[in-house]
Structure 1
Amino acid sequence: MYEPSRVLASFYVAGFQFGEGALVLGDLTVGARLEMVLEPDNPHDPSAIALRFAGKRIGYIPAEHNELFATMLYYGHADALECIIQQVSPERSPWHQVRAAVYIADARSVQQ
């Protein structure tokens, strides 16, 4: 059966060069899940969503992608979203070292 893509947004992690990403860069792997944490008091963006791995803030979902996801997180729909690492390129500039995507979680039962 054809399965449409579940990707809602794909992006390079914003602010990676300013976060704690360098501390965990060697541990980041394709397919690893990132925790999405709202930062409504962020002075730069009230819809800011920090991305965390192993308790470290590695950066943010870029502002051009975060408003809908921030609304969903705010209203308790975090289980509907997954943020997963798509690419890790330590040799690239910090702006392009980690690519991630937000997916809609598949809540369908495995037994259909």
Structure 2
Amino acid sequence: MLVQSSPLAGSQYYAVAELWPQIKPGDHLILIREPDNRHDRKAIRVEWNGRPLGYVPRAENRAVAQAIDAGEKLEARVSRLRDDPNPWRRVEFEVFLVL
């Protein structure tokens, strides 16, 4: 079941530019909860093949953080890639609750 669709936050600080040619729509992403993140206690890092790409946007991470904290099984995937100068528009991803 689709939980949310979001842009990737903070990608300009990670390896997205380097990895861009390899990332494809449909690629599996890993969501890693960071409860000790000093900027956001609900932080969720998004990784592709073991490489950090960015974060679930702070304004949209509460439900996903609660689901992870509750032990629910979530999956994420790249839904859209755009060659856009605005880093918030380059990578979109979807988060699914596995029933």
Structure 2-normalised TM-score?
Answer: 0.89
User: Deviation digits for residues 9-47 of structure 1, max 9, x if unmatched?
Assistant: 111100011122222111111111110001111111000
2:60 is paired with a residue whose SS is helix
* Structure having the higher Rg: 1
Shift of 1:75: 2.6
The CA distance in 2 between the partners of 1:73 and 1:20, in whole Å, is: 25
Q: CA RMSD in A?
A: 1.3
1:54 counterpart (29, 43, 49): 49
Distance in structure 2 (CA, Å) of the matches to 1:84 and 1:54: 12
Question: Higher RCO, 1 or 2 (CA under 8 Å, sep at least 6)?
Answer: 2
Q: Give the % identical residues.
A: 29
Question: Hey, what does 2:25 align to over in structure 1?
Answer: 30
In structure 1, the gaps of 5 or more residues are: 1-5, 108-112
Misfit runs of 4+, over 6 Å = none
> Which residue identity is paired with 1:97?
R
In 2, distance between residues paired with 1:41 and 1:92? 32
TM-score (norm 1): 0.80
Partner in structure 2 of residue 71 of structure 1 = 66
Residue 95 of structure 1 deviates from its aligned partner by: 2.0
Q: Residue 11 of structure 1 is aligned with which of 2, 6, 9?
A: 6
Measured in 1, the distance between the counterparts of 2:70 and 2:96 equals: 18
